[in-house]
Amino acid sequence: MQLDEVTITRAIVEEYFKVFLEYTDVDVALVGGGPANLVAARYLAQNGIKTVIFEKKLSIGGGMWGGGMMFPRIVVQEEARSILEDFGIHYKEYKEGYYTANSIEAVGKLISGAIDAGAQIFNLVEVEDVMIREDDRVCGLVINWAPVSMGRLAVDPLAVRAKLVVDGTGHDSIVCSTVQRKVPGSKFKGKSVVGEKPMWADVGERMVVDATGEVYPGLLAAGMAATAVSGSPRMGPIFGGMMLSGKKVASIAQGLLKH
């Protein structure tokens, strides 16, 4: 067959914007494409919840790609082993309760699992603000192309409506920090975003799951964003807590959507 460049262009643009417009009004909008939000997206979408992830970087997967200090291996503890199995991620038992997995395979299968379940992922899209309504409830996101902020261009953003928003933006907890900065007196579970504490894997892994949930009306936190909001310790290249946080936030979001 003879290929036509304009047909190729039209196929890309038409298909992209058809899906983009469909996902300007969703049940759950997840900000950040790290492991917690990828896990959450899969469990939400497979239960028929209209789910979208916005990631400002070109690549999806957050810090999991690099494993520990660029050694492409991660550790997952016993409590999260079932999630590895849910996503078909191969793992080996290193010693009792400690399992290792290839970080590159893990990221690929988390992404594939979320998409196969029906979630949509838009990369190179940055969240620069939220929409709020009565009682300062978060009801959507203000988005722009990531290169706009990188180039410091004066370009107005667009908006997406969501019944719930999940901050999964890692150490910076961008969505929660934005709300704190722009809504005077805003508190998250009664306190300000305090940032994460130094590394303590055992405590950090437990506390990230405990801290996961709705932290502000309409806004939930998962993964390292939940750690930053709660002031919990960081945990390093063990990712079971991230995955368990994603599964928990999906369950909480489902419960909130039913009310």
Encode pLDDT of 90-141 as tens digits. Answer: 999 999 999 999 999 999 999 999 999 999 999 999 999 999 999 899 999 9
CB 175 within 8 A of CB 185: no
Instruction: Specify the DSSP class assigned to residue 217.
Output: T
The DSSP code sequence of 31-78 is E--SHHHHHHHHHHHTTT--EEEEESSSSSSGGGGGTBTTBSEEEEEG
* Element (DSSP H or E) covering residue 204: helix 201-211
Residue among 132, 122, 143 at smallest CA distance from 219 = 132
What would the pLDDT profile of 8-65 be if each residue is shown by its tens digit? 999 999 999 999 999 999 999 999 999 999 999 999 999 999 999 999 999 999 999 9
Q: What is the pTM of this model?
A: 0.96
SS3 of residue 170 by DSSP:
helix
Asked whether residue 189 carries a pLDDT value surpassing 80, the answer given is: no
Residue among 57, 45, 211, 178 at smallest CA distance from 114 = 45
Mean pLDDT on 182-186:
89
Give the other-Cβ count within 10 Å of 32's Cβ.
29
CB 53 within 8 A of CB 37: yes
Q: Give the pLDDT of residue 192.
A: 84
